[in-house]
Structure formats: C-alpha cells, structure tokens
Homo-oligomer: A and B are copies of this chain.
Amino acid sequence: MKPGGATEPPSGTANPDRAPDLPDLERIPIEEHIVEIVSDSGEGAQKAGQSFGTLSAKMGNGVWTVEIIPAEIQPPQRSRAGASGIRIRLGSGKVTNMGDTADLVVAFNEQVLYSRIEQGALRQGTLVLLENKWATSNMPEIREAWVRARADFERAGLDVREVPMETECLKLTDNPFRGKNMWVLGLLCHLYQRDLEKAEDQIRTIFRRKGDQVIDLNLKLLRAGTTWARTHLGFYYDLPTRMSDQPLVVMNGNEAVGLGAMASGMEVCSMYPITPATSVSHYLSEVFRDAGGVVHQAEDEIAAIGFAIGCSYAGKTAFTVTSGPGLALKDEFIGLAVMAEVPLVVVVVQRGGPSTGLPTKVEQSDLLSALYAQPGDPPKIILAPATIEECFHFMITARQLAELTRGPVIVLTDANLATGVQPYPRPQFKREWLAPPIDQSPWKPGVPAYDWDPETGFSQRPIPGQKDGMYVLTGLAHDEGSHVAYDPETHERGCNRRSRKVAAFQSTLKSPKVHGEGAGDLLLVGWGSTMGAIEEAVDKARKRGARVSSLHLRILSPFEPGLREIFGGFKKVMTIELNYSDSLADPYITPGNRRYAQLAWLLRAKTLVDVDCFSVVHGHPLQPAMILEVIEGELARLHGQPGRRLETAAPLATGKDPSCLA
C-alpha cells in the first residue's frame, strides 16, 4: 500500500510558441530564476506574486512560491520587521522548493530590502528593482535613510536599479498604494515575457467582485508596467516553458488539504482558529456547504475534536485541523479515539515551537508529540505529505485508513506546505474516494461491537441507527462487547488488538524508494515539506560526483519496512529536519546525552543504526545550498578531511555586520 495517488513529475512537450524576438533588447537565457517582491504590509506584493506564479504555471513553468510574512498584523511602514511579500521560484522544469538566493527582487522601499538581506535571501549580484520615490521624499530622515541604504547596497554587491513606480502609477491613479502591485506585475510580465492576455485574464478573475472600474484600472496599470519595462530596462529573460500534457492545478497546501477533504467524502471540518492551520477552514468555509459539507468553528480545540468524534461515531467520519498548541489540547480525545476505535482525521499544520513559539514560521517539531502525546501510548497512524499534491491525496488516504483501522490518522503538514504554491497534475476524481453512505442495515445479532479479527484486530463498527447494533462506547478498558472490564485478560487483549491493527496495516506497506543510488557514502533521510530541497541538494552533489542519496518518509507511524536494510547500504545515515537537536560542539553535549532531531531519534530506536542528524529551527524552509554544504562537510569528514559543521548557510553579508548595514 502506498498512500495517496501522488504522481511522477508530469512529462510534457516544449512550448512551440516562444516569445517573439525583441531585437532591440538583450535576451538573457535562463533555466530557472528566483524572484521576490517585497513591500510594506498592505501594498499587495503577495497578490502580485501569486498572480505572477499562477501565470507562470499556466505558461508551463515549474513554480514554487513562499510567502514572506511580517510578524505583526499591521507593522509600521518602512520597517525591517514589517517586510511583507513573496518569493516565486520559476523553472523550465519542475520546481520543488524555495531555492537559495534570489536572482531578482522588486522592492517597494529600501527598508524592506534590508530585511531580506538580513534573512540571507540575496547574494552578490542579485538584481534589485527599487522604488525610488523615497529619494525625493519631503521628509529629510527618509531621504537620508535612502542615501545610506543605496550606499549599503552598493557595498554589499547588489545590482540596484531605481524604478519610478509611484511616479508612473500616479499617471493612472490617485492611490498608487493600492495599484502599484499590478504595475509591478506588468513589469515582470515583460521581463519574463509572460503572455499578456493570460495576465489580463488573471486580473479579471482577481478583481471579479470589485466591478469593472477597478478591473479597468488594474488592466491599465498592468500594461503600463509592461510598457515601462520594455522601454527602460533594456533586457528580458528567456525562460523556456514546457506545457504539460496533463492538465495542472496550482494552489497552496492548505487549499489542497481542504480540497482533499472534500474529495475524501468527509463532510465535517471541526476546528478552532490557529495559525497556520486556519486557512484550511477559510477555504472550506467558502465552498464546503455547496459540496454537502460543513465547517464547525468550535469554542476551543477540545470541543472541536470532540465534535468531530461525535460526527465520526454517528457514521460521518470527520476531521479536525490545528497546529501545535491546539494539538496539545486534543490529546485526551485522540487517546479516546484510539481506545474506543473511532475513525478520525487530525491535520496538524506544524509551526515553530515549543509553546506559542513562532506562529507563522515553519518547523517540523511536532512529530514526537503527534506520536506519543497521549498517555498510555495508544497506537495510531501518522502520515506526512511531502508536496502540495500529496496534501490533497493524503487526505483521501487518511479518511480511508481511519475507517479501515477504525481509529485516528494524523496528517502532519507544516507552514511551508500550508502557504507554498505549486502546480501539480489535476486530480481525476474517483467516485470511490467518497465515503460510502452510512450503513443503516440491521446489525447481525450476536456480533459484538468490537468483533476483532484475531489476526488483524480489524472490526466493523455499528453506526447509531443500525438495529441490534446498540453498544455503549467507552474509553475505559472494555471487552469485545464494549462492556467495561478491568480484569487483566480483557485489558491485555484490547491493547493487543488495537496495536495489531497498526501492525497489520504496516505489513501491507512497501519499502520506500531511495532517491539516487541504493548504496553509497551518505544517506540523507527526510520527511514532510523538505523533500524538494533535500533532493535538489542531493542531485547537485551527485552531479559533482558525491556518493550521496536520500530517502523521504511519508508514513511515520508505523514506519515503512526495510529501513534498516536500506541504511545498511551507506557508510553514514543522517536525517535532515526542521526541529531542534543539540550540537556536539556545544558545552556539556556528548554523544551520550545529545538530544537528537525527532525522526533521527525514532530511527535510532527502530533500526539501532547510529543515525546522525542535521537540524535547524531557523523558522524558514530548508534551502538546497544549506543541505549541499552539509553533504560536503559530511563527505569530507567521511573521507578523513576535517570538514566543518554548518549551523546556517550565510549568503551575502547578514545583518550582523553593522558597518555594512547599520
């Protein structure tokens, strides 16, 4: 058994409609590019970027977008902490992660650009298109800041070109604060030779509820941006596109979870708001009712899961969606769902922890908690999608597994999947995805409510309404008939049957496939949203001759079989994770007391192989360059060279050097 219907990268044909030659302009051929748009919050950089991403996907490029989220709802303008925006990585082939440093940045003011430099998002030579209205501000401190910044940027090696965004927009609108983003979209359309008609359609869709006047204005701004760029920039990029044979869809991971829930036949999403999980329910709130479902916003996380369990018990398997702090509140009910065998899907969109932690940032630090939080160690299934496509398909799988094993299935995604946007093959709806209608035929008299198959532990469950199926569900120790019983045999048997279900499911699984060769020096093991970055780094390293491979786990409880055998093919195995681990370089830390990254710890117990780990809690998605450095360091060490251990990759001067970036 393999979860979901995730597919191979789409094959396709190169697009014959290449952009017309523009003989007066320099043509810069590229294979891929990383573009960022950064602005103050509220200036619409994200909307422009999402449109640009979707447009690019429509034209046949690989795309991955990541939002740049400010810490505050309404941060002060022109502040580093307030940088709001988006990164769009484009490629002629499939793109699976945010990549490393940006090739091009469009910045609405110089302060938000500082923030990107501090975050290590830029490199020497990054082309920056910078709004220049600040140079002539009537506030002297702004003019001074501008001058200082221009010098800083030059020293840092950025290729800054000033762009009169405001001035140009003012020709069309009194309020460029609201329109600038579409002008920028136009500019990018020229630079990457995007199909203007498609762009115009895009604008019509975005503003469809705002009326013709708004649409017209934005169309004008778009075209103005294009024209200005063609006249003033003197070059364009030539990025080959490749139209997919298959129809594609493009969305973020939370939308994919929501759509997957709809496709799975579940009819109830019961939740309590929490970042970054809530947008699953925002999306569903718009469409679910028409599709026969309902979103219940409960009074708290406990009520949310209790409500979902009530639905499930009554035959309508439901799901709840949350993030770390909310997960902590659901544990008692998850334990009940295992003990009393109620199917249930729990989606956990991981954010930075512990505690309230980093609400908007990505981490993979809830694995141990998802697995072990419930007192009494109740066995359950945990899935972790690695791509946005899998976010869709795993929801269907999760519902099916929940019903099959009569228990909870936890789906672990994270903030990177939640807000990242990527095209993937449009799912072909299958009627069997939908849950069957509630069984209301009479229950066979005499068959107990937990008629455990002695081999598998599986059993069919009576649904209220079924004649003769009456039983009283309980979280106390109980026998087959759901009667409370405290004798040793009954409790041992119950624990055993519930555990066996997971083992029976495990026995249907195949070994996961190694990316790269099946043997070599180093094996990187990952899970969740980091797959794209890890595999890209592995591919790059392999091209340079490194004997490195990677393995990505999608089922974290029970583990897929054959891990120990796979590990045996490599000199060293290490996980790459977004959670905390002690560094051996730190005081007091020894191999004997080190706290390992979470998957590494589990794999050690499981395989007894000395699985090492590289993990960071820096709050942003993993980037291939950082992993590549880890690979090279490890290989150097394996080959007897000193090799350094990196904590973070440091592209461009980071904000730490005050002389450069005061």
Interface residues of A (CB under 8 A from B): 71, 118-119, 324-325, 327-329, 331-332, 335-336, 338-340, 350, 352-361, 363, 365-366, 368-369, 371-379, 454-456, 474-477, 484, 486-488, 491-492, 495-496, 499-500, 502-504, 506-507, 558-559, 561, 563-564, 579-580, 582-583, 586-589, 592-593, 595-596, 598, 601-602, 604-606, 608-610, 616-620, 647-648
Contact = CB atoms under 8 A, between A and B. Distances in A.
Nearest to A369: B375
A499 B475 CA distance: 36
Nearest to A607: B592
Contacts of A327: 375
Contacts of A456: 587-588
A606 B365 CA distance: 19
Copies held by the complex: 2
A617 B354 contact: no
Contacts of A354: 335, 338-339, 374-378, 475
Given A496-B582, A561-B593, 15 more contacts: A328-B331, A332-B355, A339-B354, A340-B355, A354-B475, A358-B477, A360-B486, A454-B587, A456-B587, A456-B588, A488-B619, A491-B617, A499-B580, A503-B587, A608-B609
B375 A365 contact: yes
Nearest to A498: B354
Contacts of A648: 488
Contacts of A71: 484, 486
Contacts of A371: 372
A474 B356 contact: yes
Nearest to A488: B618
Contacts of A593: 503, 506-507, 558-559, 561
A587 B458 CA distance: 13
B579 A377 contact: yes
A366 B350 CA distance: 24
Nearest to A376: B353
A533 to B, nearest CB: 16
B619 A486 contact: yes
Nearest to A580: B495
A325 B332 contact: yes
Contacts of A369: 331, 372-377
A336 B507 CA distance: 39
A372 B376 contact: no
A119 to B, nearest CB: 8
Nearest to A504: B588
B353 A486 contact: no
Nearest to A337: B355
A552 B492 CA distance: 25
A101 to B, nearest CB: 15
Q: Would you list the 3 A-B pairs with minimal beta carbon distance, nearest first?
A: A353-B376, A354-B376, A324-B375
B618 A492 contact: yes
A475 B357 CA distance: 6
8 contacts: A329-B329, A338-B354, A358-B491, A363-B376, A492-B616, A492-B647, A506-B588, A561-B593
B352 A477 contact: yes
A141 to B, nearest CB: 24
A544 to B, nearest CB: 27
A488 B620 contact: yes
A169 B359 CA distance: 70
Given A328-B335, A608-B608, A375 B353 contact: yes
Contacts of A502: 595
B372 A372 contact: yes
A376 to B, nearest CB: 2
A278 B282 CA distance: 43
Contacts of A356: 336, 339, 474-476
Given A375-B324, A486-B71, A492 B355 contact: no
A605 B340 CA distance: 30
